[in-house]
Amino acid sequence: MLRSLHIEPVKCTGCLQCEMACSYQAEGVFNPSKSRIKIFNFHEEGRFVPYTCTQCYEAWCMHACPVEAIVYNAETGAKVVVEEICVGCKVCTIACPFGTVNYLQDTGIVYKCDLCGGAPECARACPTEAITYIDADHTGLERMRAHAAQNLSKDSARA
């Protein structure tokens, strides 16, 4: 059974615990700028929205990579950057429509959420359960895919 991150923005308080846990897990430092999950702050409305890689079915980042440094992990469903292969060209950062693939200046390679190998630290650290790791069938993933396919067929018909 595949699992995926489920984000409920209305529960987010902007505490940044997810960013801290992620950066520590991935880079060994408490530094939100090195986190694979980000909190978008809607200042005027006083709202916070966590966002990270959605592990797209048709991952544009993976298809765009000229050296095939982004691979599919069948166990977790994550699209994972293989650091030893990545050349830091940043083509995947451009290909990602959500802006969730980033370049890490320190290492000269890109980084993105890899679901922490199947145990996402962001979900474990979230005190309000704004981020949970649940059965992918319950996240609306299939609904999103159906909507995307419907829009794709409409666009194709127009062309």
In the prediction, which pLDDT does 33 show? Answer: 92
Kindly list the domain boundaries of the chain, sorted by start residue. Answer: 1-52+117-147, 56-112
3-class state of residue 36 by DSSP = coil
Phi-psi region of 115 (alpha: psi -120 to 50; beta: other; left: phi over 0): left
Confidence of residue 62 (pLDDT cuts 50, 70, 90): very high
- Which CATH number does 56-112 carry? 3.30.70.20
Question: Taking 60 as the threshold, does the pLDDT of residue 6 lie above it?
Answer: yes
Do 53 and 19 form a contact (C-beta atoms < 8 A)?
Answer: no
Q: Which of these CATH numbers, 3.30.70.20, 3.30.300.30, 1.20.120.1770, 3.30.465.10, describes 1-52+117-147? A: 3.30.70.20
Fold agreement (1-52+117-147, 56-112): yes
Of the candidates 144, 154, 135, the one whose C-alpha atom is nearest the C-alpha of residue 97 is: 144
In angstroms, how far is the first alpha carbon of the chain from the final one?
A: 37
pTM given for the model: 0.81
**pLDDT tens readout for residues 103-159:** 999 899 999 999 999 999 999 999 999 999 998 765 555 555 665 677 666 666 666
pLDDT band at 1 (very low <50, low <70, confident <90, very high): confident
pLDDT at 54: 92
C-alpha to C-alpha distances, 121 to 17, 56, 63, 65, 75, nearest whole angstrom: 10, 20, 27, 27, 17
Residue 84 pLDDT: 97
Spatial distance between the Cα atoms of 111 and 34, rounded to a whole number of angstroms: 9
